[in-house]
Amino acid sequence: MMISRILMAVLGCFALSGLAFAGAPAEREGWHVHPTTHSYSDLVERVRASVKDHKMGLVTTATASGGAKRQGITIPGNRIIGVYRNDFARRMLKASVSAGIEAPVRFYVTENEDGTATLSYKTPTHVFSPYFKEGGEALKALASELDGIFASIAKKAIAE
């Protein structure tokens, strides 16, 4: 009985340690994944500053690591940063009300095991593509414009 409890505790530790650092998001269709040499907290601040410099709005932010910390649990840093602007929202909604569920478009900052952080995001074109039939050329043009803005925000945030 005692041995099985010890074995379960050891296996539990291995399972939890595997969850602790599952790794940065993987490259996949429609995503840009940028490993950096910046720390997690530095990259979060760099993204916020770059969003502001590009005259976009920081609409939402969420972090599982912050919530876990308040419960006395430490997990790798992760923060979702929702970015948009009202003029884009109006254009998007004119083209497709259904596409509104996708706004704001998000950046994802994740902490790596070595203390660095990764910046990831789905391109706006990828995010809005399910609505292109409904939204037509107006939505495609908006998504393409946002692709350039998001790429510029990311480029500045990850720069050395």
pLDDT-based confidence at residue 90 (cuts at 50, 70, 90): very high
The CATH class of 2-158 is alpha beta
Q: What is the residue extent of each domain of the chain?
A: 2-158
What pLDDT, on the 0 to 100 scale, is given for residue 18?
Answer: 43
Other Cβ atoms within 10 Å of 79 Cβ, number: 23
DSSP letter at 12 equals H
DSSP letter at 136 equals H
DSSP letter at 103 equals P
pLDDT tens, 32-47? 999 999 999 999 999 9
